[in-house]
Amino acid sequence: MPVISASKMQDRRDSILAAARAAFAQAGFERTSIADIARAAGVSDGLVYRYFANKRDLLNAVLTEFYERTMVDLDAIAEREAPFRTKLHDLIHRHIEAFVVEADACRLFIAEVRTAADYQGSAIQQLNRRYTSILVRIIDAGIAAGEVRADIDKRLIRDVIFGAVEHRAWAAVNGRALDMEATSRGLVDLLCHGLMAPAAGDGP
Amino acid sequence: MPVISASKMQDRRDSILAAARAAFAQAGFERTSIADIARAAGVSDGLVYRYFANKRDLLNAVLTEFYERTMVDLDAIAEREAPFRTKLHDLIHRHIEAFVVEADACRLFIAEVRTAADYQGSAIQQLNRRYTSILVRIIDAGIAAGEVRADIDKRLIRDVIFGAVEHRAWAAVNGRALDMEATSRGLVDLLCHGLMAPAAGDGP
DNA sequence: AGGCTTCAGTGAATGATATTCACTATTGCC
DNA sequence: GGCAATAGTGAATATCATTCACTGAAGCCT
């Protein structure tokens, strides 16, 4: 026999979550206190703990929302019928876009969540796995179509792409400009053709 | 007129630093208290603040030591007379080795320092710049020798290599096995030749 | 209607712990 | 032997995350 309806409880949860998202984005995780979040949501400190296990769980909830939103787009890119190179480009481009458009969420994930002691095996790590596995699907399709060398290490490609974008996009997260199109094109070109000068006699 | 000699002060500083390094490595930054470090070094809490401005400054000092130690090797690799591909491989290999051998320092840098609000423009960032610029020297030499395409984006290469190794080596930092040689070879090969299947008619 | 049970909601108390600061001890110099 | 100067101390302070004993409103039963 709940004292208030399920939808009222959902509203409460949503308003606490929204307050947390705004506060974390504005001041970062460490420098946001539960008291700040509770005040912004118009509730008492204690109530936050009825809806979320602890401060970190609140952060996880903020990021879960972000992941699920972004993955919809990546899935659409992977499922489309298109050449490998196009799909690779579009996935990279959309991934970079996430860093630019949702810089706060990306910063929180990189700085606070991924390095946490309990990240390994967590629900957020599962989401991250699903996110990065979309790229592996694209590579598999490329190999199946004969566009991609069959002997490449798919996990290495994955680490190269996500690692490179993360390094490059950290500038954007910190407020500097980033040319999304130049970066995604450059990365696709480098990956596809490598950086060696053509030996004499190569090419048409 | 110092009360104790400069070398005694250096010893004090060293013993606090050593205690901090051990404690941070064992328990991480957050879960190490100044009281822990002071106890391990055999001094009072307050004395730590005479030698280091604050807890974060202590962490920076631990990592500065690490950087200066590791950069000696990378510099030696870059200065050697050798083909581009050899130098690239050796730099990557030594960089991965740092993640394996000094996993604690790498974890601290990635989790606590690089994402800190005051990292941009800090002395540690200067060190990181010097570290990554060693790779750029190698690329420049490769271009000068005609081994590397002159039209590549050097900063992109840098982000690809350090980003990829970081992603890949995070497993090692968290205690899982990592084949250093396979990883460095695989990355060099991918970078040099790309991942596209040779079109019909390519090759000898 | 009136009493009863169950939770949502509260906010003061608790426990850690970084940092400060008023004080003490020691050293080298005159 | 006395006196600067400063190394060294550790209790006090401030700031949170988290807990928990309590309050009050909503539905249920008689």
The CA-CA-CA angle for residues B91, B152, A199, to 5°, reads 85
Determine which helix (DSSP H) or strand (DSSP E) holds B86, and give its type and residue range.
helix B84-101
What contacts A190, CB < 8 A, 6 or more positions away?
Answer: B152, B153, B156, B157, B160, B191, B194
Instruction: Read off the pLDDT of residues A90-127 as tens digits, 9 standing for 90 and up.
Output: 999 999 999 999 999 999 999 999 999 889 999 999 99
pLDDT score for A204: 47
Of residues A77, A100, A99, A73, the one with CA closest to residue A88: A77
* Closest chain A residue to the Cα of B139, Cα to Cα: A195
Mean confidence (pLDDT) of chain A:
92
pLDDT score for A199: 62
The CA-CA-CA angle for residues B156, B74, A196, to 5°, reads 40
For residue A45, say whether its CB is under 7 Å from any atom of strand C: yes
Q: Which nucleotides of D are covered by protein (CB under 7 A)?
A: 5-12, 15-21, 24-28
Question: Where residue A196 falls among pLDDT bands split at 50, 70, 90?
Answer: confident
Smallest Cα distance from B121 to chain A, Å: 12
Instruction: Read off the pLDDT of residues A62-71 as tens digits, 9 standing for 90 and up.
Output: 999 999 999 9
**Any chain B CB within 8 A of the CB of A201?**
no
SS3 B198: coil
What contacts A187, CB < 8 A, 6 or more positions away?
Answer: A92, A161, A164, A165, B156, B160
pTM metric for this prediction: 0.90
**Any chain A CB within 8 A of the CB of B195?**
yes
What is chain A's Cα-based Rg? 21
**Any chain B CB within 8 A of the CB of A167?**
yes
Regions in chain B scoring below 70 on pLDDT: 1, 195, 199-204
**Contact (CB, 8 A) for B97 and B51:** no
Give the Cα separation of B4 and A198 in Å (integer).
65
pLDDT at A87 over 90: yes
> Tokens standing for A9?
């409880």
- The protein residue nearest C7 (Cα–C1') is A3
Give the Cα separation of B57 and B118 in Å (integer).
11
Give the Cα separation of A156 and A154 in Å (integer).
5
Whole-Å CA distances, A31 to A20, A28, A39, B45, B171: 12, 6, 15, 24, 29
Q: Which of chain A's residues 23-62 bind strand D, using a 7 Å CB cutoff?
A: 31-35, 45-46, 49, 54-56
Measured in degrees and rounded to the nearest 5, phi and psi for residue A201 equal 100, -20
Instruction: Read off the pLDDT of residues B20-32 as tens digits, 9 standing for 90 and up.
Output: 999 999 999 999 9
For residue A3, say whether its CB is under 7 Å from any atom of strand D: yes
| Mutation for A interface: B95, B160, B176, B181, most A CBs within 10 A | B160
For residue B33, say whether its CB is under 7 Å from any atom of strand D: no
Instruction: Compute the average pLDDT of residues A23-42.
Output: 94
pLDDT score for B88: 97
Angle A123-144/A84-101 helices, nearest 10 degrees?
A: 150
Of residues A14, A28, A107, A26, the one with CA closest to residue A61: A14
Of residues B11, B16, B96, B91, the one with CA closest to residue B49: B16
**Contact (CB, 8 A) for B175 and A178:** no
CB neighbours (10 Å) of residue B128?
Answer: 18
Q: Which of B110, B168, B191 sits opposite A194 (nearest CB)?
A: B191
The CA-CA-CA angle for residues B60, B63, B68, to 5°, reads 125
Question: Where residue A157 falls among pLDDT bands split at 50, 70, 90?
Answer: very high
User: DSSP code of A32?
Assistant: -
**A66 CA → C15 C1’, Å:** 34
Give the Cα separation of B54 and A2 in Å (integer).
49
